[in-house]
C-alpha cells in the first residue's frame, strides 16, 4: 500500500498510495530521546485435479468455499519437480511446520506525512494476536517494527528492516515455520537487471526511504528466500500496493482452479499501446519511445531461454508461500473494518482462518478474495517458490 494513496475510495476507506510518501526528514515519535540518528544501511508434479468444494455462509453474509472432504496434508518427503517438461529437475520439500516458529511483523503508518496511513500499525498488532493465539507462535520469537515506537531498534528504518529480515531466516532448519508480514506503502521502480516480466521491480517503503531508499523485491528475495533450506516454510503477507510479485516467487496461481498463471505480454502492454498512440497524436517522442521500450523489455523477459533462466533462478528447495494484497498493477486498501482501521488483505487473511482454520491453499485464496470482493476491486495473489498442489491443506 502506499506512496500515493492507492487504496480504494469507499466510506471510511483510504487508498494506500502507489508511490512513496512526500519528501521529509523522519522524526521519531513524541517522547523519543532528541539525539536519535538514523544512518543509511550498508550497502513428482502436483495433482491438478479439481477440488470439490461446497459453499457455506460466514459472518456478514459472505459465501465461502470449503472442501467437501478435509484437504490432505502435503507430502513432507523431498520431491522432484520437472521444469516445464524438460530434463531439468528441481528438488523441493514441503515443511511440516513442527519446528521452531519465528515471525517478523512490520507496520508503517508514516506518521506526520501528508500521505499517512491509518491501519498498518493495527495490522501488525492484529497479526501478533492471531499468531500467538491460534498458530502457536511465542511472543519472544516475534519481532515487531512500527513507527509509533521510541526505541530506535524497533522503528522500521531500512537498516532495521534488513537486520530483522536477516534475523528471521538465520539458522533456519527443515520443519521450521517462519512468518513475514508487511503492511505499509508499496510501489514500483524500473527494473535494472531484466528479470521482471513487466519491466518493473516491486518495492516497499521503509519509514526513512527518503534518506535510505526503498527495498526492492530482488533484495528481499536474496535476504529471505535464497538462504532457506529444503523443508523450511516461509509464509509472507504483503499488504501493500503493487505487491503481486513482491518476493519474486516464480509460480503464481489462478483463483478459479489453482492452475499456474501465464504472463500475457500483450494484455499487460495495453497501457503502453495507448501511450504509444497518444504520443504519436501529440508528437510526444519521449512518450512513444518509453512505451516501445517497455514492451520490448517485457518480450525479452518472457521469451525462450531467458524466461526459463529467470524462473529457475527464483526457484527454491524451501517451502516459500506469499499472499499479496493485489496484482502488481493494482493498489491495496487502507480500510475501516469492524470499527477499526486495517489493511484489507490483513483483515481478510485473519478473518478467514479464524472462522475456518481448515483450508486448502486454493480455498484460502478464494475465500480471501470473497471477503475483499464485498467492497474492494483489488485481487489478492498466491505465489510460491516451487509448484505446490493447491488442493493440499494450508498449514503454517
Q: Please report where in the chains the cell 525479452 appears, as a residue.
A: 300
CA 237/CA 386 separation, integer angstroms: 17
Catalytic residue among 7, 97, 120, 185: 185
Catalytic residue among 241, 242, 326, 386: 241
Q: Does 120 participate in catalysis according to the annotation?
A: no
CA 57/CA 314 separation, integer angstroms: 39
Secondary structure of 357-384 in the HEC alphabet? CCCEHHHHHHHHHHHHCCCCCCCCEEEE
CA 178/CA 196 separation, integer angstroms: 26
Neighbours of 159 (CB within 10 A): 18
Write the DSSP assignment of 54-75 as a string of letters.
EEEE-GGG-EEEEESSPPPPP-
- Write the burial class of residue 307 (CB in 10 Å: 0-12 exposed, 13-18 middle, 19+ buried): middle
Q: Does 7 participate in catalysis according to the annotation?
A: no
Angle, alpha carbons 255-258-264 (nearest 5°) = 75
Q: Which three cell numbers stand for residue 145?
A: 517494527
Q: Which three cell numbers stand for residue 168?
A: 528471521
Q: Which three cell numbers stand for residue 334?
A: 487502507
Give 115's DSSP letter.
Answer: T
Residues 6+ apart with CB under 8 A from 234: 169, 178, 179, 180, 224, 225, 228, 318, 319, 320, 321
Indicate which residues carry an active-site annotation: 185, 241
Amino acid at each position: 500500500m502506499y506512496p500515493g494513496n492507492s487504496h480504494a475510495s469507499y466510506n471510511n476507506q483510504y487508498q494506500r498510495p502507489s508511490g512513496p510518501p512526500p519528501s521529509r526528514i523522519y522524526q521519531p515519535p513524541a517522547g523519543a530521546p532528541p539525539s536519535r540518528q538514523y544512518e543509511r544501511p550498508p550497502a513428482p508434479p502436483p495433482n491438478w485435479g479439481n477440488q470439490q468444494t461446497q459453499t457455506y455462509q460466514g459472518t456478514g453474509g459472505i459465501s465461502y468455499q470449503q472442501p467437501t472432504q478435509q484437504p490432505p496434508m502435503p507430502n513432507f518427503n523431498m520431491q522432484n519437480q520437472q521444469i516445464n517438461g524438460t530434463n531439468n529437475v528441481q528438488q523441493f520439500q514441503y515443511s511440516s511446520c513442527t519446528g521452531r516458529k519465528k515471525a517478523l511483523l512490520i507496520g508503517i503508518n508514516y506518521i506526520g506525512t501528508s500521505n499517512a496511513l491509518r491501519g498498518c500499525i493495527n495490522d501488525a498488532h492484529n497479526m501478533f494476536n492471531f499468531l500467538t493465539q491460534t498458530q502457536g507462535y511465542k511472543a519472544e520469537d516475534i519481532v515487531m517494527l512500527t513507527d509509533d515506537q521510541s526505541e530506535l531498534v524497533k522503528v522500521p528504518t531500512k537498516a532495521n528492516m534488513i537486520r530483522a529480515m536477516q534475523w528471521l531466516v538465520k539458522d533456519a532448519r527443515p520443519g521450521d515455520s517462519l512468518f513475514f508480514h508487511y503492511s505499509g506503502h508499496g510501489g514500483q521502480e524500473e527494473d535494472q537487471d531484466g528479470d521482471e516480466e513487466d519491466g518493473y521491480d516491486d518495492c516497499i517503503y521503509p519509514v526513512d526511504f527518503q534518506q535510505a531508499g526503498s527495498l526492492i523485491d530482488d533484495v528481499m528475495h536474496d535476504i529471505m528466500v535464497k538462504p532457506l533450506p529444503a523443508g523450511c516454510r516461509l509464509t509472507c503477507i504483503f499488504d501493500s500496493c503493487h505487491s503481486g510479485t513482491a518476493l519474486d516467487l516464480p509460480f503464481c496461481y489462478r483463483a478459479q482452479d489453482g492452475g499456474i498463471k501465464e504472463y500475457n505480454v500483450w494484455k499487460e502492454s495495453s497501457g503502453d499501446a495507448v501511450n504509444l498512440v497518444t504520443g504519436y497524436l501529440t508528437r510526444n517522442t519521449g512518450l512513444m519511445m518509453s512505451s516501445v521500450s517497455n514492451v520490448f523489455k517485457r518480450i525479452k523477459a518472457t521469451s525462450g531461454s531467458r524466461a526459463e533462466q529467470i524462473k529457475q533462478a527464483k526457484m527454491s528447495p524451501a517451502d516459500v508461500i506469499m499472499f499479496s494484497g493485489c496484482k502488481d498493477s493494482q493498489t491495496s486498501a487502507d480500510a475501516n473494518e469492524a470499527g477499526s482501521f486495517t489493511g484489507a488483505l490483513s483483515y481478510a487473511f485473519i478473518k478467514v482462518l479464524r472462522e475456518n482454520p481448515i483450508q486448502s491453499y486454493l480455498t484460502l485464496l478464494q475465500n480471501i478474495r470473497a471477503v475483499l470482493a464485498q467492497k474492494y476491486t483489488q485481487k489478492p495473489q498466491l505465489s510460491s517458490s516451487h509448484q505446490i498442489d493447491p488442493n493440499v491443506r494450508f498449514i503454517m
